[in-house]
Structure 1
């Protein structure tokens, strides 16, 4: 592959961790200006017909849809399956990119409550619910806006199944309260452990960790372990031909949380990873290392959602997992990649992982337009590394902001790319039109 433009002159300070010698941060002059025309955006919102402007398509129309919802420095990804299920992966933010919280909330709601995701009606004329919520890990920028964004006029959509990488008690209080209130009586919250690995001790191979689910409903205070059956390929194919399936291990060792008759399959490849296989600077109670990693497969295409997975998570997936060999096949050449940890180079995106996943269509980084200066995300080495893989001229020219991290100086800058690597903040704040923050995979 082409040599990557590292844009770095020395070792990098931590994205979040402290350093003995603090690097000088240099801001691009444009970064001190208002990053968007707030008046124009607010006017656009207030003059729009209430819930009247919608992107075409909706869950169950036979196509697959996904959208990265602009959250400033945060994560929020909505999915709609061909068979009619609506999913949300995280919903949080730590910085709003110059937009007021109220404006950011409005735009997030326009994205989520349009007919493509939570708007409109479900089969049978019922209000559409949130079928699956995945909370990748407890960091605020992945869950602190959930209750606020999903509540309109004191009402939220009900949620059926919830998957966490940590006890819900570790998540933000507002998130816990929202789940308690809006979880269906028949729904369950699942604590997912997927960190079963192989360790060589004294020349012997030892199996450690687990692939397990524990669940509780809205009235229970303790998690109860539930069995996770294994389905061979023939059984899986026979059963999914007549009904949607969930919560089982397939013949490839993937923990399938949703497999529908349309063929859309959503699996967890890692959750709750604890070991530091590779130095990953995960200083925040190991929350990032433990992130849920999701693989979505539909119509022969693959979407990989990495949360804040670290280099240790990547090493687990590629080398240490009991299913590492099979994982490498599934991770290779995904079509669309959600880049781990907002484009961090210090914690995530090892060269080996970047070379393996090597996205075919595009890579998307959840990061503010100019980022948060104390975290300096995304890193130029991640942006340029993926851009090099695609090559120049593979996408329409667009602007990306990133941070160049050197030994003594951290410089914020922007670059015009002609490769399909995007940051959520660098694309227009417009929930009414499709952009590179949208995926539309039509039924063949």
Structure 2
């Protein structure tokens, strides 16, 4: 993984750490906050997330404050089922959308057995995590709890993380339709320093109007090596090159790590 400074950053382990785990063809992002709060967004397609968590969490720490399931496709969900077996999870943020798979049924069963509080994501929710740090839900636009979905990708949780002057936008697997609505509704406020690229760089996402609204300095693509889908699509890579965004890819760079404090942010070697 190459090393790039984007801003002046004090040599300190204080502040915010964001890990875009290398879990193959899937998504998993881990957020560690100076006050001890830990948030896991998605868990990838299998138990590889457990090894990734083991590298960044102290061996004695078995608690994750919030788990976010953006949507119940296997490449986001399956690892989280394993996480529930190994860690104490305090809260789950999810859509609750209907989805008929064995793993999703197992996920819901384990949540129920453990009595884990569930928050159903909807636009407008704001989680104030620490001084200067908040997580805001931008989508879904209305409650998806127990609703049928024609396109499960477009029900995904889109969230923005703001930490002092640093901002990150997490876009799950949303496609063009939702991106265009977000760009219109949040035209003056959706810009972000770092974009977690939607749907692993699929050609169905990362449309030009959306990227023009977000204007990311950096784009992180979570994708598996030599995957059968052809992700990321060449035209998507071209769009990021056209806006001069630095591209990070887990299939090439491995886990991508960001550190931030009051002075700015940087991508660092793990």
Normalised TM-score (structure 2): 0.81
Structure 2 Cα separation of the partners of residues 302 and 139 of structure 1 = 26
CA distance in 2, matches of 1:384, 1:162: 36
Match of 1:63 in 2: 15
Within the candidate set 174, 177, 182, 2:109 is matched to 177
Structure 2 match to 1:36: none
1:137 is the counterpart of 2:2: no
2:138 corresponds, among 269, 273, 277, to 269
- Does the 8 Å contact 1:130/1:158 carry over to 2? yes
Q: 1:263, 1:285 → 2: CA distance?
A: 38
**Are residue 343 (structure 1) and residue 201 (structure 2) matched?**
yes
Deviation at 1:158, TM superposition (A): 1.2
Q: CA deviation at 1:176?
A: 2.2
- Richer in helix (by share): 2
1:192 equivalent in alignment to 2:121: yes
Deviation at 1:74, TM superposition (A): 0.7
Displacement of 1:192 in angstroms is 2.4
Q: Does 1:110 align with 2:42?
A: no
- In structure 1, runs of 5+ residues without a counterpart are 1-55, 94-100, 122-126, 195-253, 275-283, 391-418, 429-434
Conserved 8 A contact 2:37-2:129: no
Contact 1:371 1:378 in 2 (8 A): no
Aligned equivalent of 1:73: 25
1:330 is matched with which residue: 183, 189, 192?
189
SS of 1:341's equivalent in the other structure is helix
Mapped contact 1:82–1:264 kept (Cα < 8 A):
no
Q: 1:167·1:191 contact (CA, 8 Å) conserved in 2?
A: no
Aligned equivalents of 2:98, 2:58: Cα separation in 1: 27
CA distance in 2, matches of 1:426, 1:176: 34
Pick from 90, 103, 119 the counterpart of residue 58 of structure 2.
119
Q: CA deviation at 1:169?
A: 6.3
- Select the structure with the greater relative contact order (CA < 8 A; seq sep ≥ 6): 2
Which portions of structure 1, spanning 4 or more consecutive aligned residues, are displaced by more than 6 angstroms?
Answer: none
Alignment partners' CA distance in 2, 1:367 and 1:272: 27
| Residue of structure 2 aligned with 1:384, choices 230, 238, 246 | 238
RMSD of Structure 2 on Structure 1 (CA)? 2.6
Number of corresponding residues: 246
- The C-alpha deviation readout for 1:186-227, integer Å capped at 9, x for no partner, is x41122233xxxxxxxxxxxxxxxxxxxxxxxxxxxxxxxxx
